């Protein structure tokens, strides 16, 4: 009821696009917030073995090792001799302090406080499996759709980031089947997708342009960024004109379908002193301006080609 009241207030204020997520406890996850690139910039990075090390040896989640393949577990054991207290502290900061709201962004020399808070939050989801979380999402969407229809508000769920099962928690917006499920479960046009090409491209199982073509008519918000996935399961934020998202093709799809879609660039590199400014991870000033210029140029070119009948 509180959420519905907030939606009414937003609708009255003219806010018609609501991006939300259904990721339990942990929002987007990275292990390194300043991974160096060859050109002197840095990017966000997800090291699967370091994340598993955090899960098994810092969080100490029961039976955590069962959630990882043999190659990742071998990499974890290779890490153990070199994981100093400072390295462990960095993982705690990067995974559950600097990027998550539940500890209010407060960085402490005492890692046990945020880790203990995190353990308590995980307990809230004991017994909640994929089917139960899907049922919760369906209940939530059905409950708010009458308000969305009254005020013409588009709800746009953000894909899980990374689009993988992590920390024993169900993740239910990770792939084609997941997107189809929640759109079909509540077929109201106001139940839609935030098409985050970065999140989706971080899953090697996702063909991002194909997903864009399939779900463009239920996409109400676009996040344009890209990632590169390594063979071992690690991934890094890629330049906005690189990686596996194929942003140029995505712009072609969305500009032809709905050129009025709101769009943002996201998770840009740190450059030209960004790293010294205390920005929230992924939201640097210079890096985002570079990305916005690149994407703006792509949009202008695609719009001209559409006007001239070339695409």
Interatomic CA distance for residues 125 and 23, integer angstroms: 11
In the annotation, is 196 catalytic?
yes
In the annotation, is 303 catalytic?
no
Phi-psi category of residue 95: left, alpha or beta, with phi > 0 → left and psi -120 to 50 → alpha: alpha
R_g (Cα) of the chain, nearest Å: 20
Helix ranges restricted to H, the chain? 2-12, 48-53, 70-79, 85-92, 112-123, 130-151, 176-185, 197-201, 208-215, 247-257, 285-307
In the annotation, is 89 catalytic?
no
Catalytic residue among 53, 196, 234, 274: 196
Catalytic residue among 190, 223, 234, 246: 223
In the annotation, is 55 catalytic?
no
Nearest by Cα to 175 from 203, 141, 195: 203
In the annotation, is 223 catalytic?
yes
Burial class (CB in 10 A: 0-12, 13-18, 19+), 188: middle
Q: How far is CA 307 from CA 141, 249, 258, 304, in A?
A: 38, 16, 14, 5
Three-state secondary-structure class, residue 130:
helix
Contact assessment for residue 197 and residue 224, using Cβ atoms and an 8 Å cutoff: yes
> Which residues lie below 8 Å from residue 97, measured CB to CB, with a gap of 6+?
103, 105, 106, 107, 108, 114
In the annotation, is 267 catalytic?
yes
Catalytic residue among 55, 158, 161, 274: 158
Catalytic residue among 68, 240, 267, 274: 267
Catalytic residue among 161, 178, 234, 266: 266
> Which residues lie below 8 Å from residue 20, measured CB to CB, with a gap of 6+?
155, 156, 157, 158
Place of tokens 């370091």: 50
Q: Which residues are catalytic?
A: 158, 196, 223, 266-267, 283
């Amino acid at each position: 009821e509180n959420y519905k009241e907030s939606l009414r207030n937003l609708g009255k204020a003219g806010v018609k696009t609501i991006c939300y997520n259904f990721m339990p406890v942990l929002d987007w996850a990275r292990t390194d917030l300043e991974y160096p690139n060859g050109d002197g910039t840095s990017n966000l990075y997800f090291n699967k073995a370091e994340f598993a090390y955090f899960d098994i040896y810092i969080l100490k989640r029961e039976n955590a090792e069962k959630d990882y393949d043999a190659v990742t577990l071998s990499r974890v054991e290779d890490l153990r001799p070199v994981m100093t207290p400072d390295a462990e502290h960095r993982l705690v900061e990067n995974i559950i302090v600097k990027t998550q709201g539940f500890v209010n962004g407060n960085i402490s020399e005492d890692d046990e406080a945020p880790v203990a808070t995190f353990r308590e939050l995980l307990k809230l989801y004991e017994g909640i499996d994929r089917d139960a979380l899907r049922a919760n999402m369906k209940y939530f969407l059905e409950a708010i759709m009458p308000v969305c229809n009254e005020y013409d508000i588009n709800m746009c769920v953000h894909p899980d980031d990374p689009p993988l099962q992590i920390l024993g928690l169900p993740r239910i917006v990770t792939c084609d089947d997941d997107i189809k499920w929640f759109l079909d479960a509540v077929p109201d046009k106001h139940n839609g997708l935030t098409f985050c090409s970065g999140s989706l491209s971080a899953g090697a199982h996702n063909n991002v342009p194909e997903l864009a073509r399939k779900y463009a008519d239920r996409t109400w918000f676009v996040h344009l960024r890209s990632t590169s996935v390594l063979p071992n399961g690690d991934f890094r934020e890629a330049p906005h004109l690189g990686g596996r998202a194929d942003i140029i093709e995505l712009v072609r799809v969305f500009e032809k379908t709905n050129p009025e879609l709101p769009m943002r660039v996201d998770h840009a590199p740190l450059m030209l002193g960004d790293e010294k400014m205390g920005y929230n991870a992924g939201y640097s000033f210079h890096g985002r301006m570079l990305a916005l210029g690149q994407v703006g140029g792509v949009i202008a070119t695609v719009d001209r080609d559409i006007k001239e009948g070339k695409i």
